[in-house]
């Protein structure tokens, strides 16, 4: 396995999970998750899909045949966007993930509070989701759950939080080198299942990899993020009998 620090800046912003490409949506009120499926015909999967994310990880089946994830990221500055719903970090092509022999290019990072995935019913304070896409359009998301139980600040979060845009629809560039490896735990064990995007249009057929080991984030780092958004994660969805597997 090869880990290379960081990733490169996006010259033209990719539409993030929070971008309003269809009907406006949010995490609260009449445009919140319970109504996403009715806001726009393109969002139908949000209300009717049976392969939706996030889920509660329970009863995972050990599959020793699952290969380790291979992360290959490149160094560089990034662009941080406040979409009005969450914080998205945009990157240029170059970094990629290899899972089960498929290469997925890193497109963006998304931060949510609280974590979207639960483990045996427990959410953590935040998460970061690394969103990837293959050459033929398949998507893979690596979720790393962040907890302030240990109280230690996350160095990569600190580098990004210095450039948090406070107004919806605005961006800021981090000109220093950002280390993507700061979002990867030392233990690379993971759970995996077939799911969806967690924001409209809630597209299904997304391969999810939830890292078993969480990372520390400080109370102050969580406070800075929560000062921008009252809520920025989708409620748990029914698994509808989907298989959850663990690689160790």
Whether 24 maps to a domain, the answer reads no
Question: What are the backbone angles phi and psi of residue 63, rounded to the nearest 5°?
Answer: -130, 100
- Mean local confidence (pLDDT), 218-224: 97
6, part of any domain: no
User: How many domains does the structure of the chain reveal?
Assistant: 1
User: What Rg, from alpha-carbon coordinates, does the chain have?
Assistant: 17
Which one is predicted more confidently, 106 or 5?
106
CATH number at residue 45: 3.10.200.10
Q: Is 69 among the domain residues?
A: yes
Q: Above 90 in pLDDT, residue 28?
A: yes
Q: CA dihedral defined by 103, 116, 198, 33, rounded to 10 degrees?
A: 180
Percent of the chain scored above 70 by pLDDT? Answer: 92
Among residues 225, 240, 246, 234, which one has the least CA distance to residue 117?
234
Residue 133: the pLDDT is 96
Domain that holds residue 138: 29-246
What global pTM score does this model have? 0.90
Q: Are 144 and 131 contacting, i.e. CB atoms less than 8 angstroms apart?
A: no
Closest by alpha carbon to 217, among 119, 126, 144?
126
Q: Is residue 209 part of a domain?
A: yes
The tens digit of pLDDT for each residue in 33-88 reads: 999 999 999 999 999 999 999 999 999 999 999 999 999 988 888 999 999 999 99
Residue 94 lies in a domain: yes
The pLDDT tens digits for 133-171 are 999 999 999 999 999 999 899 999 999 999 999 999 999
Nearest CA among 200, 165, 161, 191 for reference residue 178: 161
Task: Tell the residue number behind the tokens 């319970």, with chain if given.
Answer: 34
Give the pLDDT band of residue 13 (cuts 50, 70, 90).
very low
Is 121 domain-assigned? Answer: yes
At residue 18, the pLDDT reads: 38
Q: In the predicted model, is pLDDT for residue 193 greater than 50? A: yes
Interatomic CA distance for residues 95 and 39, integer angstroms: 34
Cross-strand partners of 208: 141, 193
pLDDT at 14 over 60: no
Structure tokens at 47: 């209300």
Query: Per-residue pLDDT tens for 81-114?
Result: 999 999 999 987 789 999 999 999 999 999 999 9
Written as one string, the DSSP assignment of 173-240 is EE-SPP-GGGGS-SS--EEEEEEE-SSTT--EEEEEEEESS-EE--HHHHHHHHTT-S---PPP---T
Assign residue 147 a region (left: φ > 0; alpha: ψ between -120 and 50; beta: otherwise).
beta
Is residue 1, in this structure, part of any structural domain at all? no
Among the residue ranges 51-55, 107-111, 178-182, 208-212, the one predicted with the least confidence is 178-182
What pLDDT, on a 0 to 100 scale, did the predictor assign at position 19?
A: 40
Q: Is the peptide bond before 151 cis (omega within 30 degrees of 0)?
A: no
Does any domain span residue 137? yes
Over residues 173-191, mean pLDDT: 89
The encoded tokens of residue 138 equal 């398949």
Judge whether residue 15 has pLDDT over 80.
Answer: no
Predicted confidence at residue 8, as pLDDT, reads 33
Does 234 score more than 80 pLDDT? yes
Return the ∠ at Cα 143 (arms to 139 and 146), rounded to 5°.
Answer: 160
Query: If pLDDT is split at 50, 70 and 90, which confidence band does 21 have?
Result: low
Under the banding of pLDDT at 50, 70 and 90, the label for residue 213 is very high
């Amino acid at each position: 396995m090869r880990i290379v620090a960081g990733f490169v800046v996006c010259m033209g912003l990719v539409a993030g999970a929070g971008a309003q490409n269809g009907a406006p949506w949010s995490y609260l009120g009449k445009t919140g998750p319970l109504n996403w499926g009715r806001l726009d015909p393109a969002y139908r999967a949000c209300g009717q899909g049976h392969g939706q994310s996030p889920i509660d990880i329970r009863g995972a089946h050990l599959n020793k045949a699952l290969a380790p994830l291979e992360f290959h990221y490149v160094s560089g500055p990034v662009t941080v966007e406040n979409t009005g719903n969450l914080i998205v970090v945009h990157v240029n092509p170059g970094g990629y993930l290899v899972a089960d022999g498929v290469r997925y290019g890193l497109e963006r990072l998304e931060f949510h509070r609280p974590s979207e995935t639960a483990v045996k019913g427990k959410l953590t304070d935040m998460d970061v989701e690394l969103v990837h896409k293959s050459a033929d359009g398949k998507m893979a998301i690596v979720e790393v759950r962040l907890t302030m139980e240990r109280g230690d600040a996350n160095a990569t979060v600190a580098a990004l939080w210095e450039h948090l845009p406070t107004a919806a629809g605005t961006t800021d560039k981090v000109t220093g080198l950002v280390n993507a490896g700061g979002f990867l735990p030392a233990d690379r064990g993971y759970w995996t299942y077939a799911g969806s995007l967690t924001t409209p249009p809630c597209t299904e057929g997304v391969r999810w990899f939830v890292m078993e080991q969480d990372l520390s984030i400080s109370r102050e780092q969580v406070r800075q993020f929560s000062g921008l958004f009252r809520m920025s994660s989708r409620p748990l969805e029914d698994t509808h009998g989907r298989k959850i597997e663990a690689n160790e």
